[in-house]
Amino acid sequence: MVRGQCAAWDVYVRLTSGLLPLLTGNRIDDEAVNPALGGVVSRILRYAPLWGEHGRMLVAAMRSAVHLYRTGDHRDLADLLRVVADRLYVLSAGGGLTRRTDDRAAP
């Protein structure tokens, strides 16, 4: 598994097993959501260069996620994070990542 795939899986697991479950209840615990969202955002910012164009899209999505959280729009935040999780899953499986051998010109 290449580094970008491992990084995508790391963020995917934190998002789907940590942050998203906090946003699915009737009552949102901001003391739990805030650091969980911060952890996901910081990892995406850190790993984004490994994902090329997908990384830039995920960074933009995290900016929107922070805005949605700050305005209290938890339903749209959860929807956005599910889409981000789907993209991370695809990246973790190798979809959309360019391998170094693919960048070389054919002999």
Please indicate, yes or no, if residue 106 is contained in any of the structural domains.
no
Please list the ranges in the chain whose pLDDT falls under 70.
1, 96-107
Please indicate, yes or no, if residue 29 is contained in any of the structural domains.
yes
pLDDT at 97: 57
pLDDT at 26: 81
Q: What contacts 24+ positions apart, CB below 8 Å, involve 30-37?
A: 33/69, 34/69, 37/65, 37/66, 37/69
Q: Residue 24 in contact with residue 77, Cβ under 8 Å?
A: no
pLDDT at 27: 85
- C-alpha distances (whole Å) from 44 to each of 7, 52, 107 are 9, 12, 36
> Which range marks the domain in which residue 39 is found?
3-97
Residues 6+ apart with CB under 8 A from 85: 12, 15, 16, 20
How many domains does the chain fold into?
1
Q: Give this prediction's pTM.
A: 0.84
